[in-house]
Amino acid sequence: MSDKSLIEWTDATWNPLRGCSRVSEGCRHCYAEGVAARFSGPGQPYEGLAGFVVVKTVARGKTTDPIPKPEPRWTGKVVRAPHDTLTQPLRWKRPRRIFVNSMSDLFHESVPDEWIDQVFAVMALSPQHVFQVLTKRPERMRDYLASGLVAPNATATQARVLQAIDDLVPERTEASIAAKNRVLSVAVSGLQTWPLPNVWLGVSAEDQKRADERIPLLLATPAAVRFVSLEPLLGPIDVIPYLFIYTNADDEVLLDHTDRIGPEEPLPFHDPATTDPAEIATPRLDWVIVGGESGPGARPMHPDWARSLRDQCVDAGVPFFFKQRGEWAPGIFEDMGDYLSFEPAEPGVRAKPITPDNIRWFDGATAPDGPGAQLLGKKAAGRLLDGVEHNGLPAVGTGAPKRLAARPASGPDGQSVGQDK
């Protein structure tokens, strides 16, 4: 848990749960898994939740003797953090954007509904904050938040969250009464307030396959704000079907996401430049985050993948946040005869001496000349996209900071300045 997170799109992290397991290729170099494995010894926070296992070997020089190479792995076990951690947001008075469970997944299959209820109870009791919930298990999230009615004004989930509020605050207080009203209220600023106006729900996806699996389930989930984190971005992704509804001159739907998420009644196209998003009943993505992979073994992100997503968001009027290049910086290789040069594409990025292990070519190129990337490290590679730092944020939700516009780099050597605080 950190009150000053280094994650660029949030202010703080809150981990009422610990532990996770891999579900897809985007988990291969998970930073949380590595951190947990390093602190998994006896008496440490992640004991029994992660560790190092030998999954492959590497050659020992010119000999045939292999060297075991341990790698971090989750065990699949998930536990609750101490009660003080669960209630920490109640003691943070200054409004924050809070990333929920950076070291776990709130909707992991090992997490009972009772634990999720407690997390939502704390979020209901903390309207000054914006909570950012990100999952790779959107089917569980949808089922949890779209549970059926058990009373005229409450679903099964809402009823359990109300009980969790009573358990956290046994005495009848102004704060607890207000929290219950937020759980049950249905009309504030044109948005249904369950699952709470200060809770943003998102999914992460690394490629088109995972995007097409997870985003439709997100769009079928009740939420005030829906977002997607395309990090690590491992291939090109088309999110246009989740940003627009297209119609012809006869108002017939030509392309939308309704066939992917259920039998919704299609609505006419809404021009995002002239229509208040709150007036659009059919769900669409409210925010797109993009980032390259970081950490040991990171794979390079082609700059065209990020550019395409930026352009899709601009066309749809959806906020775009470019989090990072990752470990690799794009640029152009040139054969200088007796040596190979690399010119980074972004201002302020400096190349390193070239070695066989720190260069990659893009677009199937094998000759020395052409586009590629060099392994420089996350900080050195930066977070500029075509010279611009993109910090788009949804302008919806209690306590949410104003949206930050894209801005060109400025400062020494063209480095980006004025990052989100």
Cα four-point dihedral sign 293, 295, 300, 303: positive
Q: How far is CA 301 from CA 102, 163, 229, 236, 328, in A?
A: 22, 46, 15, 9, 7
Q: How far is CA 364 from CA 117, 302, 360, 419, in A?
A: 49, 12, 10, 35
Neighbours of 186 (CB within 10 A): 9
Tokens of 196: 């709470």
Strand partners, 315: none
First-residue to last-residue Cα distance in the chain = 18
Mark the ranges of the chain whose per-residue pLDDT is less than 50. 186-192, 247-248, 253-273, 275-281, 397-421
Per-residue model confidence (pLDDT) at position 57: 63
Q: pLDDT per residue over 344-370, tens digit each?
A: 999 999 999 999 899 999 977 666 788
Q: Dihedrals φ, ψ of 152, to 5°?
A: -55, -35
Closest CA to 386 of 342, 347, 348, 340: 347
Say if residue 251 is exposed, middle or buried (CB neighbours under 10 Å; 0-12, 13-18, 19+). Answer: exposed
Say which amino acid occupies 91: R
DSSP letter for 33, please.
H
Q: Which pTM value belongs to this model?
A: 0.84
Per-residue model confidence (pLDDT) at position 367: 65
Q: How far is CA 354 from CA 48, 360, 399, in A?
A: 41, 11, 47
Pairing of strands 12-14, 97-100: parallel
* Distance, C-alpha 92 to centroid of its chain: 23
Per-residue model confidence (pLDDT) at position 283: 76
Closest CA to 106 of 78, 72, 147: 78
Q: How far is CA 63 from CA 58, 241, 302, in A?
A: 11, 53, 36
Neighbours of 345 (CB within 10 A): 17
- Contact status, residue 379 vs residue 326, Cβ threshold 8 Å: no
- CA separation for the pair 72, 28 (Å, rounded): 10
- Contact status, residue 387 vs residue 325, Cβ threshold 8 Å: no
189, 195, 200, 201 alpha-carbon torsion, rounded to 10°:
-140
* Distance, C-alpha 365 to centroid of its chain: 31
DSSP string of 71-135, one letter each residue: EEEE-S--EEPPHHHHTHHHH--S--EEEE-TTB-TT-TTS-HHHHHHHHHHHHT-TTSEEEEEE
Pairing of strands 50-59, 66-74: antiparallel
- CA separation for the pair 123, 112 (Å, rounded): 18
* Distance, C-alpha 52 to centroid of its chain: 26
